[in-house]
Amino acid sequence: MTSEPFEVPIRDESIRLGQLLKLASLVEDGATAREVVERGLVTVNGDVETRRGRQVRVGDVVGLDGGESVRVVSG
């Protein structure tokens, strides 16, 4: 059973997926972000996403390997 996503505020309309993973502390650094995305361990709105540069927008839900998930909110 997955828990409710926690909210991560962003300043702009969108943020790149790799940056969001770091901002949300789901990964420690850019190298780890690249690895988990390339391995298909990240979902955006329930769909596997393999593009680290994917623009994630307010309202999107990003999950990491069936574990924690975050909802992007306006900050």
Q: For residue 20, give the CATH number of its domain.
A: 3.10.290.10
| 65 inside domain | yes
The pLDDT, as a whole number, for residue 59 is: 98
Tell me whether residue 43 is in a domain: yes
Q: What is the pLDDT of residues 1-13, one digit of tens each?
A: 457 899 999 999 9
Domain-located, residue 1: no
pTM: 0.92
Q: How far apart are CA 6 and CA 49, in angstroms?
A: 19
Assess if residue 31 is contained within a domain: yes
**HSE-up (13 A, CA, CB side) for residue 40:** 2
- pLDDT single digits (tens) 30-66: 999 999 999 999 999 999 999 999 999 999 999 999 7
Domain count, the chain: 1
Range of the domain at 70: 6-74
